[in-house]
Amino acid sequence: MLTALLPVGMVYARGSFDLARYNGFLPFPIPGSQAIWMFFVWSAALVAANLRIGFGSPEVLAPVGTWTRSALVLAIPVAFLASGLDCTGITLSGCTPVCTFLIRIWTPVVAAAAFAYMYTGRRWLLPVITMMCMLYLVPSCECANGLNAWWLHHLPRSPACFAASGWVSVIAVAALSWGKWTRTAATVCWFINVGLLAFFIGHHYYQIPW
């Protein structure tokens, strides 16, 4: 989990910083900027709460309700699909071959692993899913926008397109692994997913925020 948390957290934190200073993203820039950072800190605290249990007693697993468990598991593939829609629209054809592979091929593979865990309950699938999700950190996007600008200034391609969905996977897997604040974690995951889907509609059909 730490192997995934550090790089995913850094990319997501960078994305939070870029969104917080993007004037056209929220109608009230200053409160909106504070809200973005508060959300990042709050969601990171959820992951930390579960990691604390993991370091203290790795075998402890609080019971997770069926509906909450399903919500956490399903949040993972939905997040990556939503990020793909944000980037490409309904064509699901990325700006690079890597982007297209991640959306069309890798997302169904991750979804299959998530469904396998949901129906079998095999805990070894959770770290497998976590490591699979790290592939989305491969720089894959060449689109010049507010989220990618900093990365494209330093790298040929940006890894930012899947940062939010990668963060969803970290929150969900941590909650599923140790069972702390699971309902809150599920709410946060789906809040992010709704935001991603709203961005897909706003961006591709109304040019909001760009």
| pLDDT category of residue 154 using cuts at 50, 70 and 90 | very high
pLDDT reported for residue 30: 47
DSSP state of 166: H
Q: Binning pLDDT at 50, 70 and 90, where does residue 187 land?
A: very high
Residue 109 has pLDDT above 80, yes or no: yes
Average confidence (pLDDT) over 88-94: 92
Q: What whole-number distance in Å separates Cα of residue 167 and Cα of residue 187?
A: 13
pLDDT band at 21 (very low <50, low <70, confident <90, very high): confident
How much is the pLDDT for 54?
76
Q: Over pLDDT 70: what percentage of the chain?
A: 91
Distances (CA, A) of 63 to 53, 91, 94, 180, 189: 14, 40, 40, 9, 19
Residue 123 in this model has a pLDDT that exceeds 80: yes
Mean pLDDT score across all residues of the chain: 89
Mean of the pLDDT values across residues 46-53? 86
If one counts every other C-beta atom within 10 angstroms of the C-beta of residue 150, the result is 15
Q: What's residue 112's pLDDT? A: 97
Query: Which residues have a Cβ under 8 Å from the Cβ of 162 and sit 6 or more positions away?
Result: 80, 83, 102, 136, 137, 140
* For range 119-147, the mean pLDDT: 93
pLDDT score of 201 more than 80: yes
